[in-house]
Amino acid sequence: MGKEILKSQQEYGWGAKIIDQLSKDLHATFPEMKGFSPRNLKYMRKFAQEYQDAAFVQQVVAQFI
């Protein structure tokens, strides 16, 4: 989710206000799901921004099994 927000902000020039609107749209589309508050979406965006090149893999021990 964070990567998509970053990509859209860069490609389309979306500003910070889009996160508030996205939060409202997600709540309306998926009323039973939680975690789409503006604050959480900003955290997702920040995480994606900080770890753009990080590869998430299994722990080393799990890779040997």
Chain segment 18-50, per-residue pLDDT in tens: 899 999 999 999 999 999 999 999 999 999 999
Burial of residue 5 (CB within 10 Å: 0-12, 13-18, 19+) is buried
Residue 56 pLDDT > 90: no
First to last CA, the chain: 31
The reported pLDDT for the residue numbered 24 is: 96
Domain boundaries, the chain: 2-64
How confident is the model over 2-19, as a mean pLDDT? 85
What's the pLDDT band for 63 if we cut at 50, 70, 90? low
Listed in sequence order, the residues at least 6 apart from 3 whose beta carbon sits closer than 8 Å to its beta carbon are: 48
Global model pTM greater than 0.75: no
CB 2 within 8 A of CB 8: no
